[in-house]
Structure 1
Amino acid sequence: MSGTRISKGGLIDRSTLLRFRFDGRDFTGHPGDTLASALLASGVRVMGRSFKYHRPRGVWGAWFDDPNAVFNVTLKGDELPNCPATTTPLVDGMEARAVNAWPNAESDIKGGLDLFHRWLGAGFYYKTFMWPDWHLFEPSIRKMAGLGAVDGKVIEGYVADQLHDHCDLLVAGGGAAGLAAARAAAEAGQAVVLVDDHATLGGGLYQGDEPVEGEEPRQWVATQEAAIRAAGGRILSSTTVYGIYDHGLAALAEDRGFARAPRLWRMRARRILMATGAMDRPITFADNDRPGVMSLQGAAEFLGRYGVLVGRKIAVLSNNSQSTPIVAHLRAAGAEVIEADPDEGTLRALDGKRLSGVQIGGRKIDCDTILASGGLTPTVHLWRHAGGKLDWSAEKAAFVPGAAPQGMVAAGAANGTFDLDPALAEARAAALGNAPETVATGYRIKPLWPQPGAKGRQWIDFQHDVTLKDVELAARENYVSVEHLKRYTTLGMAADQGKTSNMAGLAAMAAIQGRPIPEVGTTTFRPPFVPVPMELYHGTRRGQLVNPLKRLELEAQHRQAGGAMCEYGGWLRPGWYGPDQETAIRAEVLAARQAAGVFDGSPLGKIEVMGPDAAAFVNFIYYNTISTLRPGHIRYGFMLRENGLILDDGVVARLGPDRFLISCSSSHVASVELMLESWRQDGNDPDRIFVHDTTPHWATLTLTGPKAQQIVAALDTGVDLDDFPHMTLREGQFDGAPLRIARVSFTGDASYELSLRAGKAGALWQAIMAAGAPHDLRPVGVEALSVLRAEKGFIMVGKDTDGETMPHDLGFGVPRQKKKAAFVGDRALHSDTANAPDRRQLVGLTLPEGALPLATGAHIVTTGPKPRSIGFVTSSYFSPTLNRPIALALLEHGSERMGERVTLRHMGQTATATVSAPCALDPEGERLNA
């Protein structure tokens, strides 16, 4: 007998029948069932196969502690891989198939691998397949790896929402302790969020079906829920706290049913109360992985929540006092229960086709089910996520929460308080920030750990087929650290994450070494606590939303002017204006050089840095000296990474004594802001420096060319243009809105950047076009702007630089020699690598008369029988202004090669050019003030 549904009890709805299929067979269940409970109720015991040996597996636990039953589940044509059977709610019409098994879990063709177990122990991959070449075996091994299969089909509409929220107290766990704590805090006026991974709260209260403070468990739970909500508290059921991160951030995965994607909550909490309960750990004995060997606590959950009696003739092996109420509950439900002391002799599970009994020493007990309980282990994963320490409790034979992470407290079974009344008192005190009274515990346990050298195959990790002998082998091969043991044997990896296997594994290693368990320690617990769908992490970031295209405020005006909208650095911007690209770019360049051009520079970064320490901070961030910059003035500079490489270039304006405006490249705004925030919080007082990205709030239109000043003068800005030198900034107004005008140039001609509130951009555009009509003003796209800046030898970071470029490679070497104040990347600029004589430096390339433009990326090569690359072309255009091709390149010893003829190769073609200065137009800069 392998399970039956009792006639009453549990939290299921017996009035409704749900139909589903498992491994090609038809079954039924009820609302409130999981796949595992419905299958157990139908007599199914084998629900999976182990990873390595493909041994048959039944469920061990009833919730997240079960590592065995994992299914691929299909509903209405949509499939989800690797669904734990014990936590997947049953839905009518589901089709489930056991992973890692073919054709099914009951009759897996790969089960024959178990016959070779003697040669397939821990580490056999590393030892066996190194000769003659790992790559010969790798494809087959990788094909066999993994559990569930992904069919590549994206479930339509399966898009996870992502929400941000906050609270005073986050209670993780809706069992007795969690409910008591949430109610006490809510009634004290705290903003409380209670989170529990079950659809029905109550935790383990249903396992023994004993009264709680004089009430039946269901009624007591309902009373607490009502009180929490009445006091303003919130309850998130079917939601798991799967990770705790810095600064009180908790990650919550809300399961909204198979047909709907989960929801990710990023919850910021002032305090977190961990009431996650405790898990029943296995007892290690020969053949303890047989289907029908289950957790005592799991069997109680199946009975209390789902009305499923896991066996009729049950042998209970327990070394602790928690078994007493559970045994009584099982007997009341009609099971014959034989209690045995697992310490009275050698243990072995007996079976033929099905589990038939257990042998204890020389005695055999006939049974169809073995329920094992090796003691309770507090569920401390979240505690460790937050950096909390663990203490060893000899009294409880378990690790319990020790030194607490900031803003976090544990209560109830999660804190090692396994008795109900003390747990409730402890939880209520912790919720209010009080220390609970010390109460004597009624929990008793006689430690029972794996015995090295014991006979038979004794399983420690059910999912990954790690046995006691594997741990002994690891120790012989000097993998004695628990972290090394984990990686060598794969113990505690995958879905288990140490929930069932961790204590047995480290206890075995401790016994082998003759050391106390706490000296061996535990492995590191990391998020996620349970497997969560990948959809949860990217949320709506799929398709075009993976990296949403940014749009200009003036997109409609650009389209109306004939702009060809193209993507540049994540922005949709006009590349040129007109139907023919080549003709349009030539006309735009000439208009900007001979009359005036206007281009939309709104994507340029506008990051404000302010505060009492802003000046010193910006000076530290920049390669150039910024501390001497006066208010109303602008300076060009570089930002470097810590390794001295160029992150971005741009201008910084000083708006006031404690206020700076950083203008960075349009595609680098996010990375620059991240860098500023990182350094703001590292070695600085963040309350004295503030960083704000205002890029989306300001639109920028730049007028450039000989007639630019006349056009700006025709606008009503209130700014005196006669006393307005290059690299200064003035503030005025336009149409009643604040306006900034900056005299900076990316073209080499006199230029004016006009920035104002984005909502006013349309009016400014219209006014500029009207004022510029008599002066032959023409809109300029990004492609023409690229030509204009290249004529002057101005760089684009990321195009004219690579992953090795430093400022002195571009001709900006003074700050690294003369700047006395520390700055980001300063030390790296004096390394051997930074001073290598063969560094690639920025140069220009002049082509022979009549030559075609060079290909961007073409390599400059040495001559001779074995040519090698000594540089490459970074930018190349035909210059309408000079009526010839121009190019920029990075070239070894570039500054020493002026006038030298070089050879270039690209795609089998050869060309020659003369090394020249990067600036091909107006090297004296006379056009800036023309």
Structure 2
Amino acid sequence: MAASYRISGAGRFSHAKVAKFSFDGRPYAGIEGDTLASALLANGVHLAGRSFKYHRPRGILSAGAEEPNALVEIRRDAARRTPNVRATVQELYDGLEAASQNRWPSLSFDVGAVNDAFSPLFSAGFYYKTFMWPKTAWKSLYEPKIRAAAGLGVAPDQPDPDHYAARFAHCEVLVLGGGAAGLAAALAAAETGVRVIVVDEQADFGGALRFEAGARIDGQDGWTWAQGVVARLKAMDNVRVLNRTTAFGYYAQNFIGLVERVSDHLAAPGRDLPRERLWQIRAKKVVLATGAIERHMVFADNDRPGIMLVSAARTYLNHYGVAVGRNVGIYTANDSAYAAALDLKKAGVNVAAIVDLRDNPSGELVDQARAANIEIHDGRAVVRVGGKLRVNSMTVQKRTGGGERTLPIDALLMSAGWTPSVHLFSQSRGKVAFNDEVKRFLPGTYAQDCVSVGACNGTDGLAASVDEAYAAGAKAAKEAGGKAAKSAKPKVEASEGWSRGMLGAAPGAGPGTTVKAFVDFQNDVTAKDIRQAVHEGMRSIEHVKRFTTNGMATDQGKTSNMHGLAIAAEELGKPIPQVGLTTFRAPYTPVTFGSIANHARGALFDPTRRTTTHGWAEKHGAVFEDVGQWKRAWYFAKAGEDMHAAVNRECVTVRKTAGLFDASTLGKIEVVGPDAATFMELMYTNPWQKLAPGRCRYGLMLREDGFIYDDGVVGRLAEDRFHVTTTTGGAARVMNQMEDYLQTEFPQLKVWLTSISEQWAVVAVQGPNSRKIIEPLVEGIDLSDEAFPHMSVREGKICGVPTRLFRMSFSGERGFEVNVPADYGEAVWEALWAEGQKHGACAYGTETMHVLRAEKGYIIVGQDTDGTVTVNDAGIDWAIGKKKADFVGMRGMMRPDLVAPGRKQLVGLKTKDPNVVLEEGAQIVADPSQPIPMKMIGHVTSSYWSENCGRSIALGLVAGGREKMGQTLYVPMPDRVIEVEVSGTVFFDEKGERLNG
């Protein structure tokens, strides 16, 4: 049985229940409140994993989210296997089963450790220089092997049985960080009455108060004060308190992404609880109180199990009641290490010595350490350590060399200072600035409405941090509409503060040394690797990062980035700011795919949208196709019909009598306001000012670069109101483009945009008998050709419900589109269907709609255009207002390359054999006998059999197409070459006489 390192009476969970768990199949016992890391340390287990490249033994480095070493797999059952879980974050529960990773056959004996012996072959950048020859070996040998070796844990191979939740929230003040500063800011903001959300990634609020045992706030010890504040906040109706919640991303307009761990800490979560909850929060003000991260010391073999950060050891002692060793050494360039020595001494742990790089350190904590008879070696460095699977000694010498002394230890604590956690500030697009005096990057220029407080702002000392945070919280709340805060700011009594610390490699690991002094533990990046990157020409820190992989591990360089930057700057002989800082990208810590995918799995992977007539269509034999997220009736097959027979029948019926088509999926947008016509003039190529109310016009929208973006029919309902239709797939993007330009380019216009796609069901009644079908049902609208000509819109009633009735056609026949409130869509369809049966009408689907429009040469944006088609290419120059001064895309369409001869133009294609139907996407060539690869001059965009034309028809984009009218071109296929004749795009009723019956 492993020896216990639990200190009787220490920590905050001494009376908690026992929780049994296993690690690599071996049983252990911890207590409720432990993390897996603290429970392992309580059992004397320091060896927790193996490194990525060299498979070196690694121990627990930290006590929080910055942990790079102790990554484990948590197993609940065969399907619930989660790799790369940080043992420092995983809360212990009874029955927890954990396993180490990246080792074989065992953690203590790993065959992969042979890589360490061959480390000279795996130096920085070896990936880019080793696998280049022979070229043919990349696919057959190198890539499979590299992919097999890549990664640390093994991804689950079964579907995730857990479920996840999602919430959206708004607040006036969002406080990120639940330490003393964050709680002070939240309390100040909450008492003004505004909505406040306060977030912390730990199970309990308190932050650094978990280990700062000497702090007193408002007459209480710091931890007790923090729990009291949390209780007060939870009791307030205007406050939401979220623990176990990580803010992983800071996006535009104060939009923050959070992931809450809901049940990972529970032994039996129950099926009603989600595993995680994704929060998406929009805040008026954001207070960043994200603290700071302690840096390790860069010296030879600093990665041995048993070597950890000073703050981690204090956390395990003061919060969890666990000593990380019985004879502990400390290596530092920072005052905070002395507080750890005093805490350990008080708990009965022997402190072998404090090794301080600085000459003659001074201060209250240093004086207390000397008074406690703790041995201090100032002006000295740890140049190497002993032990393999756990550190057992440290060798100390003068900083300038000589005077070696080896001391036995069973743990080594290190602190090179503190790095403000500016990750979220940087993600907000704020610019950090380097403070040369304290050697830290601090928040500089703000890009969003946020403020950094406390340690993440570089503020030294607990008292100063709390004062700054309380003032910032009150100010943020007041600016967001709150009243004056009622309570007095907290009074802090604490002697602890930061000292400058150091950056880069310690003596003994400087230039010219060959020792393995690790900068990035997870990726095995050493100080030597950073220097090699510089020697091989890397000048930007981003290049150094990619060449060495420093900071590219799951911890995102939280402990390694500053050391790597300092070493590179030293080697380049430049100040740190000139070398640059790597980009902090979301997520702040790893986020599960489950939390992001959330409900979007299986049948819910993509929302399924159904029109109001979906049920009716199912009953009448419709076969459906997916059009974006919509289920649309593809065709209506009768007994004995296949798709082709059904479509042929539908096409003929529509042209001979009539047909009904559900067009509800069309995008619909209302453009309303005194400047509506002016706005339409700017957004579309067509003129709108003189379009009379009650009339419609085809509308063509371009992108800024001059290419076709979307099209649709627009009806003017009144001087200040337009009903705009878009393609089904273009509804969202057109709305977005309109909103974008209205808010950024034309904000002076008095215009309001409303998406009404779901508000109106649309029934298209097309064909010679269309007017006869709708006439008995329409009230208040004169349907005569004189009163209601083609391309008109009227408002009235149909079947007793309001309607916006358009006279328009996408089939080339007399046609009407009946818009009614969506709740009445099915009833109106059934009434129209009943009338249609009197005239031999049919229901038709999207395939017939495509054939009918192709017969008339009507384009479909996204099918006959591909994002590189201009108005002239499509042959619809008539859609451009000749006297217009400006519209979106006007300058783009005048670019020389868009008006150059030889561009692909939309033309008709008739196969020489009328029975042959071309394949859409097939390439077109001028000479089929040319050698392969042939020069392609175009491709087929639309192709169908037309029963009305008695032959196949097709549209295609062909280089210089309109100049090739009547010429023969060729479509090479695997089994034959198909001859086609270039023709006009209209195949049926070229004069358009049928539009008026």
TM-score, length-scaled by structure 2: 0.88
Partner residue, 2:374: none
Q: Quick one: which of 773, 782, 798 aligns to 1:711?
A: 773
Cα deviation digits, residues 39-59 of structure 1 (max 9, x gap): 111111111111221111111
Cα deviation digits, residues 594-642 of structure 1 (max 9, x gap): 2221111111111223344443333233233344433322211322333
Question: How much identity, in percent, do the aligned residues show?
Answer: 40
Partner residue, 1:691: 753
- Answering whether residue 710 of structure 2 is matched by residue 642 of structure 1, we say no
SS of the aligned residue for 2:838 comes to: helix
- Answering whether residue 815 of structure 2 is matched by residue 751 of structure 1, we say yes
Q: Does 807-816 or 743-752 show the bigger shift?
A: 807-816
Separation (CA, whole Å) in 1 of partners of 2:794 and 2:87: 67
1:300 CA displacement: 0.8
Partner residue, 1:624: 686
Partner residue, 2:199: 195
Report matched runs for 1:127-526 at 5 Å: 127-133=129-135, 135=138, 137-156=142-161, 158-210=162-214, 211-232=216-237, 233-258=239-264, 260-337=274-351, 338-343=353-358, 344-353=379-388, 354-361=390-397, 362-394=404-436, 396-433=438-475, 443=497, 445=499, 447-449=501-503, 450=505, 452-453=510-511, 455=513, 456-526=515-585
1:776 CA displacement: 2.1
Say if 2:331 and 2:356, in contact at 8 Å, map to a contact too: yes
Q: Does 595-604 or 508-517 show the bigger shift?
A: 508-517
Partner residue, 2:629: 570
Assess, with a 3 A threshold, how the Cα gap between structure 1 residues 336 and 442 changes in structure 2: closer, same or farther: closer
Q: Does 249-258 or 678-687 show the bigger shift?
A: 678-687
Separation (CA, whole Å) in 2 of partners of 1:878 and 1:394: 75
Cα deviation digits, residues 83-109 of structure 1 (max 9, x gap): 111111123333322222222332211
Say if 1:65 and 1:279, in contact at 8 Å, map to a contact too: yes
Assess, with a 3 A threshold, how the Cα gap between structure 1 residues 153 and 12 changes in structure 2: closer, same or farther: farther
Partner residue, 1:104: 106
Partner residue, 1:824: 888
1:814 CA displacement: 4.7
Assess, with a 3 A threshold, how the Cα gap between structure 1 residues 906 and 627 changes in structure 2: closer, same or farther: farther
Assess, with a 3 A threshold, how the Cα gap between structure 1 residues 466 and 595 changes in structure 2: closer, same or farther: same
SS of the aligned residue for 2:899 comes to: coil
1:301 CA displacement: 1.0
1:810 CA displacement: 2.1
1:575 CA displacement: 2.1
SS of the aligned residue for 2:847 comes to: helix
Assess, with a 3 A threshold, how the Cα gap between structure 1 residues 129 and 566 changes in structure 2: closer, same or farther: closer
- Answering whether residue 989 of structure 2 is matched by residue 914 of structure 1, we say no
Q: Does 42-51 or 745-754 show the bigger shift?
A: 42-51
Assess, with a 3 A threshold, how the Cα gap between structure 1 residues 807 and 717 changes in structure 2: closer, same or farther: same
Separation (CA, whole Å) in 2 of partners of 1:161 and 1:761: 33
SS of the aligned residue for 1:695 comes to: coil
Assess, with a 3 A threshold, how the Cα gap between structure 1 residues 126 and 617 changes in structure 2: closer, same or farther: same
Cα deviation digits, residues 422-478 of structure 1 (max 9, x gap): 222222111111899999996352543325326432211111111111222222223
Q: Name the amino acid aligned to 1:668.
A: G
Separation (CA, whole Å) in 2 of partners of 1:911 and 1:471: 61
Say if 2:796 and 2:804, in contact at 8 Å, map to a contact too: yes
Partner residue, 1:700: 762
1:63 CA displacement: 0.6
Separation (CA, whole Å) in 1 of partners of 2:490 and 2:567: 35
1:698 CA displacement: 0.5
Q: CA RMSD in A?
A: 2.6
Separation (CA, whole Å) in 1 of partners of 2:914 and 2:445: 77
Q: Name the amino acid aligned to 2:236.
A: A
Q: Name the amino acid aligned to 1:461.
A: D
Separation (CA, whole Å) in 1 of partners of 2:106 and 2:742: 57
Q: Name the amino acid aligned to 1:214.
A: G
Say if 1:800 and 1:874, in contact at 8 Å, map to a contact too: yes
Q: Name the amino acid aligned to 1:599.
A: F
Q: Quick one: which of 860, 872, 896 aligns to 1:796?
A: 860
Partner residue, 2:620: 561
- Answering whether residue 126 of structure 2 is matched by residue 124 of structure 1, we say yes
Say if 2:698 and 2:879, in contact at 8 Å, map to a contact too: no
Separation (CA, whole Å) in 1 of partners of 2:914 and 2:175: 76
Cα deviation digits, residues 225-248 of structure 1 (max 9, x gap): 122123332100100111111111
Q: Quick one: which of 793, 802, 826 aligns to 1:729?
A: 793
Partner residue, 1:94: 96
Say if 1:383 and 1:405, in contact at 8 Å, map to a contact too: no
- Answering whether residue 614 of structure 2 is matched by residue 608 of structure 1, we say no
Separation (CA, whole Å) in 2 of partners of 1:340 and 1:849: 91
SS of the aligned residue for 1:279 comes to: strand
1:803 CA displacement: 4.5
Separation (CA, whole Å) in 2 of partners of 1:76 and 1:444: 46
- Answering whether residue 20 of structure 2 is matched by residue 19 of structure 1, we say yes
Q: Does 583-592 or 702-711 show the bigger shift?
A: 583-592
Partner residue, 1:873: 940
1:3 CA displacement: 7.0
1:79 CA displacement: 0.6
Separation (CA, whole Å) in 1 of partners of 2:229 and 2:800: 58
Say if 2:387 and 2:393, in contact at 8 Å, map to a contact too: no
1:70 CA displacement: 0.8
SS of the aligned residue for 2:864 comes to: coil
Q: Which runs of 5+ in 1 are unaligned?
A: none
Q: Name the amino acid aligned to 1:875.
A: S
Q: Name the amino acid aligned to 1:88.
A: Q
Q: Does 52-61 or 635-644 show the bigger shift?
A: 635-644
Q: Name the amino acid aligned to 1:884.
A: R
Q: Does 453-462 or 486-495 show the bigger shift?
A: 453-462
Q: Which runs of 5+ in 2 are unaligned?
A: 359-378, 398-403, 479-488
Assess, with a 3 A threshold, how the Cα gap between structure 1 residues 890 and 341 changes in structure 2: closer, same or farther: closer
Q: Does 689-698 or 398-407 show the bigger shift?
A: 398-407
1:651 CA displacement: 1.5
Separation (CA, whole Å) in 2 of partners of 1:894 and 1:475: 56
1:255 CA displacement: 0.7
Separation (CA, whole Å) in 2 of partners of 1:2 and 1:414: 39
Q: Quick one: which of 547, 559, 574 aligns to 2:606?
A: 547
Q: Name the amino acid aligned to 1:182.
A: A
Say if 1:290 and 1:349, in contact at 8 Å, map to a contact too: no
1:542 CA displacement: 1.6
Partner residue, 2:49: 48
Q: Number of aligned pairs?
A: 929
Report matched runs for 1:641-680 at 5 Å: 641-680=703-742
1:111 CA displacement: 0.7
Cα deviation digits, residues 506-552 of structure 1 (max 9, x gap): 22223333444344442221111111111222221122322222101
Say if 2:686 and 2:881, in contact at 8 Å, map to a contact too: no
Q: Name the amino acid aligned to 1:330.
A: L
Assess, with a 3 A threshold, how the Cα gap between structure 1 residues 19 and 686 changes in structure 2: closer, same or farther: farther
Separation (CA, whole Å) in 2 of partners of 1:706 and 1:674: 38
Separation (CA, whole Å) in 2 of partners of 1:857 and 1:820: 36
Partner residue, 2:592: 533
